[in-house]
Structures are given as structure tokens and as C-alpha cells.
Structure 1
Amino acid sequence: MDWLTDNWWLFWLGVALVLGAIEVATVDFVFLMFAGGAVAGAVAAGVGAPVPLQVVIAVAVALLLLVVVRPMIKRQFTDGEVDHHIGPSGLVGREARVLQAVTDTDGRVKLAGETWSARLAEGTTPVGPGEEVRVIAIHGATAVVEPVHHDPST
């Protein structure tokens, strides 16, 4: 036990490593903030602070990191407002060729090299095979489309 009383900084670093390993499994940035507090406790122990002060410093730094730093990190890594135009959302605005007549309830289109179920947007007229349509939304596995009216002068 004499070893522990002489090496509190090593204890705190061990705690920080364990908390860091837990963070890797959870990826919620909570245990990372606790690990930061443990590192602060190790620094306090390294400069010779008494154990109660080390605990206070570790807890204070961990809480400060949780309140100030964690929200900023979460915002950076969980940016849900930005649509990166990958997956189905990347197909919105593209043109497709009608394979089977598209009505307000059913139809098939060739979109990005794949056959998709399709239906017309409200207020549009049915579109026959061979015609072109533009995707205005994707609902599940169904493309919501509208006819493309090409300008005859082009």
C-alpha cells in the first residue's frame, strides 16, 4: 500500500486509461470527459497536492469538461441538420426514365441505374413508359416524381 501512497499520479493515469477504454466502447464523450478529470488529478498528484485536493480537482475538471467541452464536441460529430446528399436523399432532383406507367399510386422508373417504385406528386398527370420524370422526394423505397417538360426550342 506504500506504493499507492507514493504514486497517486500513476493511479489517476490508470483510471484515465480505463475511462478512455470505456469511451471507445460507448462513443458518447462522457467517459472521455471523466478521463480528462482523471488526468487533471494525475497532474495534481504529480505536483504534490494532497489526495483530497486531487479528488476535488479531478471532479471539478470533469464537470467543467462535461458542461463546456462535451456539447461542442457532440455538435461537431452529430451534425444532423446537414444533408450530405448520399443515399436516397442524393437522388432528389435527378431525372429518371419511366418503365411502367406512373400514376398517383403506382409505377416503375429507372433511376440511377436501378428500378424504383414510383408515384406521382399531387396535381400531376400520369406519365407513360419512355417519358422522363424528375424525383422530388424519396419516401421509403418509393420515388415521388413529376413529369419533366422539355422546352421544344432547345
Structure 2
Amino acid sequence: MVALLWLVGAVILAAGEALSGDFFLLMLAGGALGTAGVSALTDFPVWGDAIVFAILSGALILGVRPVLTRRFSTPPPTPTGIAALTGRSAQVIDAIDQHSGTVRLDGDVWTARPLDPTEVYTAGTTVTVMKIDGATAVVWKGP
């Protein structure tokens, strides 16, 4: 009889997992399912079943859940458009100072300004795009 209650609990927890999707309730359902099997095969008292449930659920949460979470988590979105230009290298075409300058970035010519307004980059220097501000690449030479 107790095994049937554990089995019903496992089904309810698995159904709850379908709503949440974070694999926590699924691990508890696995613990309940395992406890239902142990309860059907042994004469443990209810507190013994609770200990079996805690051990099985804890093992699943600590051992299996991280693997499932890594496997089924969504990857970070791939930056596209202007967001994809941040961090790229660019070649200075015309000297860059606080008020003017251009760089070649991914085959296109962009107006540019330095990240630090006091710096000047000469033609031919390789710089890194720190951000895009409107139609201007904010660049930095770095150390």
C-alpha cells in the first residue's frame, strides 16, 4: 500500500516537472519512484522509506541534475549586427583623435573616436572596438 502512495507521488512530481522545467521535481520524482520500488520489496517502516527517499533524491539532485541542466540549457544568444562588432579588431585608416578618424572594421570603413579622449591613434595602428555609439566605433589600443 505504501509503495502505491510513493508511486502516485512520483507521478504527481513528474507532472509538476512538466510545468516547471528545471529538473528539480523530476529528481524528486525519481527518488519517489525508487522508494516505491524499495517499499514494495522490503518491510521498512514509513520513516525508513523517508530516509530512502531523501538519500535517492539527494543523490539525483547532486549527481544527475547538474548534468541535465548543462545538457539542456539554452546557449547564450549569438550577438548579431552592431552588437557582434564589440571586441573586434580594427585597422586605423585616418588618424583618430577626439574629433575625427576612421577605421576599417570587417571590410567596412567606420568613423571612430578613442575611448580615452586624450589619446591619438595613427594610421596603421590596430585597435579594439569597445562599443558602437551610433555610427561611430569607440576604439582602444590597449596595453
**TM-score, normalized by length of structure 1?**
0.50
1:65 maps to which of 60, 65, 79: 60
Q: Which of structure 1's runs of 4+ aligned residues deviate more than 6 A?
A: 75-78, 105-108, 113-117
SS at match of 2:17: helix
Q: State yes or no: 1:14 paired with 2:16.
A: no
Q: State yes or no: 1:92 paired with 2:84.
A: no
What is aligned with 1:41? Answer: 35
Number of residue pairs matched by the alignment: 131
Q: State yes or no: 1:136 paired with 2:128.
A: yes
RMSD of aligned C-alpha atoms? 4.5
Cα 1:17–1:30, aligned 2, differ >3 Å: closer, same or farther? Answer: closer
Q: Contact conserved, 2:7 with 2:33, CA < 8 A, in 1? A: no
SS at match of 1:7: helix
Distance 1:120 1:32 in 2: 53
Matched to 2:51, the amino acid is V
Q: Deviations over 1:96-151 (max 9, x none)?
A: 677x9853477776744788774314474256xxx677452434x4444257xxxx
Q: How many percent of aligned residue pairs carry the same amino acid?
A: 22
Q: Runs of 5+ in structure 2 lacking a partner?
A: none
**TM-score, normalized by length of structure 2?**
0.53
Cα 1:61–1:108, aligned 2, differ >3 Å: closer, same or farther? Answer: farther
